[in-house]
């Protein structure tokens, strides 16, 4: 071997190549960082803007107790006062009824798909149908229920008809989220349960569902928050009423999106006018209700989540 060749021990601790990043890579890194920040800002700015507008315009009426405890039945359309209790009741009743129907159905479908269907033809068809249903626009769901409930069965337009249309919109979301949550429950747990001599249905009810419950609940609440803001079914399937109506099955019933649309159509939109304050107040109320539902979802799913300590 020629003299002058470095042996293993003579080699410098780190070769120069490791000691500096090439200019090319530094530039690429900076460009990528700037791009990522830009797209982040681009996504966040409109969100913050919308939220700011809703809060700034809507805050005027919200702090008054009659906003939460009265309807518009006793005030003129251009008179300051009254409240949106009638619309809050409608939104909550319709949303709750929708959840009562959609959650068991959606959960049942998800359980079938994950625990029983495996790769059967029926489960493939079901998954396909759920995909299609999740792409159906709300106006189509509303018109379908109109054709079924009102034209064919001859029943009146009502809050319940709205709930039925919302069910069509909520089921795919519930199925999808519950399916994902059930799939990530490890098979180890199912096998452990079977090996104890626990029947399959009981394994699903007592082991699989509780393990996935936290995720399922947040999925349901997100879906509920989403359908409560839907407007098209309200326009088609129920008449607006400015009076409080607790009856889901008869007569007109307000809901927050419907109230906003009605005020827009019948009242002045000038900033500072009664109509303006009502619309934005209702918008902020809806945002608050949905935020509250999401908050409850987070708390509940934390409480039921599997713990380590």
Partner 1 sequence: MAKRIDVKDLDIYYGKFHAVDSVTLSVPPRNVTAFIGPSGCGKSTVLRTLNRMHEVIPGARVDGEVLLDGENIYGSNVDPVQVRRTIGMVFQRPNPFPTMSIRDNVVAGLKLAGGGGKRELDEIAERALRGANLWNEVKDRLNKPGGGLSGGQQQRLCIARAIAVRPDVLLMDEPCSALDPISTLAIEDLIGELKKDYTIVIVTHNMQQAARVSDQTAFFNLAGVGQPGRLVELNDTEKIFSNPNEKATEDYISGRFG
Name which position in 35, 202, 266, 295 contacts partner 1 (CB under 8 A): 202
Query: Exposed, middle or buried, 273 (CB in 10 Å: 0-12/13-18/19+)?
Result: middle
Length of the chain equals: 309
> Contact 278/269 with Cβ under 8 angstroms?
no
Smallest gap from residue 206 Cβ to partner 1 (A) = 5
Verify binding: residue 210, partner 1, rule CB under 8 A: yes
What is the token pair recorded at 263?
């005020």
Smallest gap from residue 294 Cβ to partner 1 (A) = 23
CA distance 98 to 196: 38
Subset of residues 118 to 157 that bind partner 1, contact rule: CB under 8 A: 118
By CB under 8 A, the count of residues binding partner 1 is: 26
The stretch among 76-84, 145-153, 184-192, 230-238 that binds partner 1 (CB under 8 A) is: 184-192
46-75 mask for partner 1 (x: CB under 8 A)? Answer: ------------------------------
Smallest gap from residue 66 Cβ to partner 1 (A) = 45
Name which position in 42, 47, 63, 188 contacts partner 1 (CB under 8 A): 188
Query: Exposed, middle or buried, 100 (CB in 10 Å: 0-12/13-18/19+)?
Result: exposed
Verify binding: residue 178, partner 1, rule CB under 8 A: no
Q: Which long-range contacts (CB under 8 A, 24 or more apart) does 205-211 make?
A: 208/115, 208/182, 209/111, 209/182, 210/304, 211/185, 211/306
> Contact 102/219 with Cβ under 8 angstroms?
no
Name which position in 76, 192, 265, 296 contacts partner 1 (CB under 8 A): 192
Verify binding: residue 175, partner 1, rule CB under 8 A: no
């Amino acid at each position: 071997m020629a003299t002058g060749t470095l042996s293993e021990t003579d080699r410098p601790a780190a070769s120069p190549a490791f000691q500096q990043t090439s200019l090319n890579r530094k530039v690429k890194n900076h460009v990528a960082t700037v791009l990522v920040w830009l797209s982040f800002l681009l996504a966040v700015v409109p969100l913050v803007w919308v939220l700011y507008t809703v809060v700034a315009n809507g805050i005027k009426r919200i702090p008054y107790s009659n906003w939460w405890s009265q309807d518009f039945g006793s005030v003129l359309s251009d008179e300051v006062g009254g409240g949106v209790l009638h619309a809050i009741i409608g939104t909550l009743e319709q949303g709750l009824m929708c959840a009562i129907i959609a959650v068991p159905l959606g959960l049942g479908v998800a359980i079938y798909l994950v625990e029983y269907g495996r790769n059967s033809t029926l489960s493939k068809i079901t998954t396909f149908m759920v995909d299609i249903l999740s792409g159906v626009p709300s106006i189509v769901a509303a018109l379908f229920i109109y054709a079924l409930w009102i034209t064919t069965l001859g029943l009146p337009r009502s809050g319940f008809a709205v709930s039925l249309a919302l069910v069509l919109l909520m089921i795919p979301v519930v199925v999808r989220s519950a399916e994902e949550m059930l799939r990530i429950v490890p098979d180890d747990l199912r096998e452990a349960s079977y090996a104890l001599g626990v029947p399959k249905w009981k394994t699903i009810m007592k082991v699989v569902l509780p393990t996935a419950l936290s995720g399922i609940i947040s999925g349901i609440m997100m879906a509920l928050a989403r359908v409560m803001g839907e407007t098209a079914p309200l326009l088609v399937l129920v008449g607006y009423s400015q009076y409080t109506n607790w009856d889901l099955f008869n007569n007109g019933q307000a809901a927050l999106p419907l109230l906003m649309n009605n005020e827009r159509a019948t009242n002045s939109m000038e900033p500072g006018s009664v109509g303006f304050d009502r619309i934005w107040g209702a918008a902020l109320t809806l945002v608050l209700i949905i935020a509250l539902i999401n908050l409850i979802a987070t708390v509940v799913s934390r409480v039921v989540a599997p713990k380590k300590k």
